[in-house]
Amino acid sequence: MTDKKEKTGYAFGNTGFLPQEEMLEIGKKKKKLIIGIPKENIKKESRVGLTPEAVEILVNAGHEIIIEKGAGLAANYTDNDYSECGGQIVDTKPEVFKSDIILKIAPPTIEEIELFKQNQILFSSLHFPSQTEEFVRKLMKKKITAISFEGLKDEDGCYPVIRSMSEISGTSSILIAAEYLSNVNSGKGVLLGGITGITPTEVVILGAGTAAEYAARAAIGLGAFIKVFDFSISKLKRLQSNLSSRLFTSVFHPRVLEKHLKSADVVIGAVYLDDKGPQFLITEEMVKGMKKGAVIVDLSIDQGGCIETSVCRSHASPVYTKYDVIHYSVPNIASRVARTASIAISNVFNPLLLSIADSGGVQKQLKDDAGLRHGVYIYNGILTSDRIGNYFGIPSKDIELLMAVF
């Protein structure tokens, strides 16, 4: 952005040299943000986008945070916690949706989209496999700029929200498996891990990414015997190096995997499927051959699943048994530990929102921040995700090209 400051320099004209205006750069104008945090459906989602501590930092920086009554209760943050830190507590969703920026965890419902005003900014997860064409078209009609948690990148090219949630999910998956191996939860009464004189339990992990690494760390800490399968040798080597522990590792091969599943007590599906959709690395026939009372935790279920017998469930009813194998497949597993997960999400969005304010708003930040652009799937009502466009038959445009227009 430039502004006319003074007349310096000369240009040759019909009457000789004439003074010319020099264009000097001026600083970016900081923008006050009004951020709304609606209450989530507590049966499906327990996390909240900002902690009271993050709200205090934003309020002290001159921003306004509007929070629906009870928004943080599931994560054990009271309305008083937020109000003492400068947050404005309101009773109804319409009051929250007057904000310029809406920060949610779960994608907005159709009813919530109706509350949006034109040209608002939405930060939320997308959960693409569970979305409908109506959801996309209603956001477009409201000319919303929608930015997904899943697509956000940081300056290092990493996905900060995905990574932090994967760390939590990986660790949680082992704790969940331990619960359902115990007879307290009608399991076969086996301790996950090992003690002197008893063969340790076997844990098979599909994938070698962040969630897989943290699942392996937790299982190793309990004394279990770990077997990791992945398509990539380099990922397996990196995992081996990061854990500083000898593991059984193998590239995916159906016969090899099937052999090791027969002795597995726990199977963790931690494959990052990206945009590929369901990819069943463990077939129904393989599950049939597993031990009675074994536990499967499919962390890939939010992307469609990597185990054929996995069925998407909720926290209210997370477990079912098929072929005498216990299955746990809940998409937002990190909300089981809502306070930890909320802090992790808040640690991403607090500095991001401050940066957006310093740059002069979301639209200006988007021009300079490739990582933020990567999370955009609707820009001013225009679909920018070709994946969503191809799936629903909606025309899409490249966000990079739109940056040159707006």
Q: Catalytic residues, which ones?
A: 127, 302
Report d(CA 171, CA 65) in Å as an integer: 32
Cβ atoms within 10 Å, residue 335: 24
**Beta partners for 7?**
21
SS3 205: strand
Report d(CA 36, CA 354) in Å as an integer: 15
Angle between helix axes 160-181 and 210-222 (nearest 10 degrees) is 40
Phi/psi of residue 156, nearest 5 degrees: -95, 0
Please state the three-class secondary structure of 136-174 as a single string.
Answer: HHHHHHCCCEEEECCCCCCCCCCCHHHHHHHHHHHHHHH
b/e burial code for range 183-222 (CB count within 10 A of at least 16 → b): eeeebbebebbeeeeeebbbbbbbbbbbbbbbbbbbbbeb
Report d(CA 8, CA 12) in Å as an integer: 13
Closest CA to 366 of 334, 391, 400: 400
For strand 376-379 and strand 382-383, is the pairing parallel, antiparallel, or unpaired?
antiparallel
The radius of gyration of the chain's CA atoms, rounded to the nearest angstrom, is 25
